Structure 1
Amino acid sequence: MKSERKGTKLFTGAASRRTVLLGASAAAIVAAFDRLGSPAAAQSLNAIKVSEAIHLGMYVSVYAAKHGGFFKKHGLDVAVSSAGGIALALPVVLSGNASFAVTGAGMSVNAVNEGAKVSNIAKVVGGVAMWAVAKPGTKVGGIADFKGKTIATLRFPSSTIQTPTFAMKDRGGFDPEASGVKFLQLPQGAQAQAVLDGRADFATMFEWDVSIAKEKFGLEPVFAFADIIGPLSWTTAMTQKSVIEKDPAMVQAFCDALAEAQAALQTDRELFVKASVAEFPQVAESVIRSAAGNLLDNSTAIPKNPTISKAEWDTDMAFELAGGSIKSARPYEEMVDNSFAEKATAKVGKAG
C-alpha cells in the first residue's frame, strides 16, 4: 500500500506521501432498517462524493459506512474515489468536485497555510497503522533495537520511512542515520522478499501488506509503531468551511454515518470483512480476517468514534512536522470543527 507523506506543496499537483452499539451487530441494524424503512431511506438520497488519498484498508470506517448501510440510513448516496496521493485528495474538494476529503490531517494545514478555508470534521484513522515485519523468531524489545539495521520500505517519499524516522527521533531519542539505520527503498510488493533473502532485517508495512507477508512469505509482525507513538488524528475527513455553512445537515449526516459505522466495527468483525471484501476483491478473505485483528485489536487505527481530541491533533502535528509533511503547524482550535462528530457520537451513545 503506497503512502506519501513528505512535504510536497498541496497545490502543485505533485503526489507526495500521506459508545458502542451494545448488543446488536451491524448486520442486524441494517436489516432492521431495511425491513422497517427509515424516513431518510424513504426519501431520495443526497448524492455526494468523497475523495480519498489512496485505497487503503485502514479507511474501513468509510467503507463500512457505505456497505453497512449507514450512509443510506442517513440519506446519503456516497461515491468514494481515490485521488492517487495524500496531497491530491483535498484539491478535489477545493475544486468543488467532492464534498469531503479523507487524507492525512497535515494536508488541511498545508491548504490553510496557502489561503484555503478548511476544517477537519471527523477522525477516520486514529493511530499509526504500521508494523515492522521480520523473520519468525526476531525479537524487538523497543525502538532502539532498530539501530544498525536495514529496513525495507517503499520509495521516498513514504510514511514507511517517515514513521520509523519519527519514532526513532521523537520517541527513541536517536538519529537513524547516525545510528546506522539504512532504508532500503523498493517498489511496492518487494519489501517482504528483501527480508527473506537477507537484504533487509525488517520491512515497514501497512495492512493488507502485513497479513500478505505473513500468509505468503511466513514473516511476522514484530513491532507496532502505534505502541510508542500513541493515538493521533492520522487521517481525517475534511471539507471546506463554505460546505459546512451551506449544508450543515449533510455534514452532520456524514458524521452520523461514520460514528455508527465505527461503533459497529468494534462489535461486529463481520462488518469489517464484508466492507473490506467489497472494496478489495483482489485480496484474499483470509488476509482480510488476519488484518482485522491487527487493525481492530492491536492498534488504535480504527477509531471507536470520529471525534478528534486536542491531544490527538497535537501528536499528529508533531508527527507531520518531524516527517516534513508540513512546514508549520496550526492550532487545534483553528483547524478542527468537532461539533458534528461530538453530536454523532452522543447519538450513538444514546442508541446503545
Structure 2
Amino acid sequence: MTNHVRPPATPSGRVLNRRRFLAASSMLVAGIGAAPLMGSRTASAAGLKTVRFSEAVHNLGYINLYVGMHAGIFKKNGLDMKVSAAGGDTQTFAAVLGGSADFAIGDATMAQISRENGGPGVVVGTVVQRAHYFGVSKTLKPITDPKEFKGLKIVTSPEPNTNFSVTKRMLEKAGLKLGTDATIVPVNPGTEIAAMLAGQADMAVAYQPSVAAAEAQGAKVVFDFSNYVGPFCNTGIMVLPSTIQKDPEMVQALVTSFEEASRKTYADPAFAKEVARKEFPDLPGEVVDKAIDAELKYLIPAQSVITKQDQWKNLMDMQIYLGNAKGSVSFEQIIDNSFAEKAIASLK
C-alpha cells in the first residue's frame, strides 16, 4: 500500500480566507488552465493507473479510504493510489486546482466557492456523512444545550476549517456572541486536544483518533456534533470537470472503489480496526479500536458514496450562514452522482 505523505506544519496563528484564496486560484485555473492531467498516465506496476490523491488531514473520518487501500479495492479496480495529506481543507482543493492532484477529499464547500467565482469543481461522492467532531474536555460535564457553552474557551482548527465553522455557527445559533460570551481558540489542525490538555481552553473540538487518545488520558466526550448537526456532507470527493472529460473511466473506478470500501468498513469492523492500527501505529491499539467503534456508532464514515440532498443542504445552510458561500450554484450543478449511481448498481 502507498505510504502517506504528511505536510509541514503551518504556523498556529495563520488563518486562511477560503473565499479569497479559492477565488484567486479559480480565476487562475479558468484563465490559463491547470496543469494537464493525462488520461493515459499509468503506473509502472501491473499496468495500474496512478492516481494523485490529496486528503485534507490524516484522520479516521477517512477510514473508508484506508480500508479501500489496505483491502486492495483500489488496485482491483485498476488504480494505484498516491495519497498525500495537504494540511487543511483549502490546501487540499488547491492541489486539484493547481494540477498536483487528480482528486481531493475535504470540505466540499471548496468546490462550491470555486464555482461561484467562475472556476471549476465537481463533487462526485461523499466520504464523511456526519460532522465527525466531538467536544472533549477534562473539566466539563456533558453538554446538551449549546447555550451552556457561555463563558467557555473552545479550541478548534483555524478558520476556514470545518470544525471551526461548525462550532461558530452552533454558538451563534445559540445566541452567544463570539469573543464576548464564548471564545474560539484556533490552533494547527490535529493539535486541538494537546491545546486543551495544556489548559488553553475548556474544550477541544476534535476528530478521531485524537478523541480516543484524549479519553485514554482522562478526558471525556462532552458534546456530540454528529447528532447535533445531523446528515452532513462533511467530506466530499472533489475533481475538475476536465479530469472527468479526459478520463471518466478513472473517475468511475475511484468512485466504485469508495462505494465498495464504505460497505466493507461497516460490514467488517474488525478489519477496519486492523487498518486503523496500521495507519496510526504510534497510538495504542485499544485507543484506535475505541476510535473506530465511535466512528461506526455515530455513522460518521459514509455508508454509501452517493451525495444526498439533505447532506448537501445542511452543509450549504451552514456555509451560507457563515458567509463562506453564496449558494448560487445548485445541487444539480455541483454534484455529479452519476458515477456513484453506476457504482451502486454494479455492486448489487
TM-score, reference length from structure 1: 0.80
Distance 1:202 1:76 in 2: 41
Whichever residue aligns with residue 205 of structure 2, its letter is T
> Structure 2 CA distance, aligned partners of 1:316 and 1:340?
21
Match of 2:80, SS state, is: strand
- 1:266-345 equivalent positions in 2, closer than 5 A: 266-298=266-298, 300-326=299-325, 328-345=327-344
**What RMSD, in angstroms, separates the aligned Cα atoms of the two structures?**
2.8
The structure-2 alpha-carbon separation of the partners of 1:191 and 1:233, relative to structure 1 and needing over 3 Å to count, comes to closer
Code of the aligned partner of 1:252:
Q
Among 163, 166, 169, which residue is 2:166 paired with?
Answer: 163
For 1:191 and 1:101, the matched residues in 2 are separated by 23
Give the Å deviation of 1:98.
2.3
Distance in 2, Cα, partners of 1:179 & 1:60 = 38
Q: Does 1:69 align with 2:72?
A: yes
Aligned residue number for residue 27 of structure 1: none
- The alpha-carbon distance between structure 1 residues 238 and 156, as it changes in their structure 2 partners (threshold 3 A), is closer
Contact 1:64–1:275 under 8 Å retained in 2 = yes
Instruction: Tell me the distance in 2 between the aligned counterparts of 1:95 and 1:196.
Output: 37
C-alpha separation in 2, matches of 1:87 and 1:195? 24
Equivalent in the alignment of 1:257: 257
Deviation at 1:278, TM superposition (A): 2.8
CA contact (8 A) 1:123 1:305 kept: yes
**1:145 to partner: Cα distance:** 1.8
Alpha-carbon distance between aligned partners in 1 of 2:246 and 2:284, rounded to the nearest angstrom: 42
Q: Deviations over 1:234-274 (max 9, x none)?
A: 11111111211222121111111100100111111123223
**Contact persistence 1:10–1:87 (CA under 8 A):** yes
* Paired AA for residue 108 in structure 1: A
Q: Secondary structure at the match of 2:301?
A: coil
Q: Secondary structure at the match of 1:87?
A: helix
For residues 5 and 327 of structure 1, do their structure 2 counterparts lie closer, same or farther at Cα, with a shift above 3 Å needed? farther
Matched, 1:103 2:102: no
Q: Please report how far the alpha carbon of residue 309 of structure 1 lies from its aligned counterpart in structure 2 after TM superposition.
A: 1.3
- Evaluate the alpha carbon distance shift between residue 209 and residue 325 of structure 1 in structure 2; reply closer, same or farther with a 3 A threshold: farther
Task: Look up the equivalent residue of 2:143 and give its one-letter code.
Answer: V
Identical aligned residues as a percent = 29
- What SS class does the counterpart of residue 287 from structure 1 fall into? helix
- Alpha-carbon distance between aligned partners in 2 of 1:289 and 1:225, rounded to the nearest angstrom: 20
What residue is the counterpart of 2:220 in the other structure? 220
Alpha-carbon distance between aligned partners in 1 of 2:95 and 2:187, rounded to the nearest angstrom: 29
In structure 2, the residue matched to 1:21 is none
Equivalences for residues 28-39 of structure 1 within 5 A? none
Contact kept in structure 1, 2:132 and 2:234, CA below 8 Å: no
**How many residues align structurally?**
317
Task: Judge which range, 104-113 or 144-153, deviates more.
Answer: 144-153
- Structure 1's 98 and 152: CA in aligned 2 closer, same or farther, altered over 3 A? closer
- The higher-RCO structure (CA 8 Å, 6+ apart) is 1
Native 8 Å contact 2:107 2:162 kept in 1: no
The 3 A distance-change label for structure 1 pair 282 and 198 is closer
Counterpart contact for 1:5–1:323, Cα < 8 Å? no
CA contact (8 A) 1:70 1:260 kept: yes
Partner of 1:54: helix, strand, or coil?
coil
Q: 1:5 to 1:59 in 2, by over 3 A?
A: farther
Gap change, CA 1:267 and 1:168, over 3 Å in 2: same
Counterpart code for 1:180: D
Matched residues in 2 for 1:156 and 1:72: separation? Answer: 36
TM-score scaled by length of structure 2: 0.81
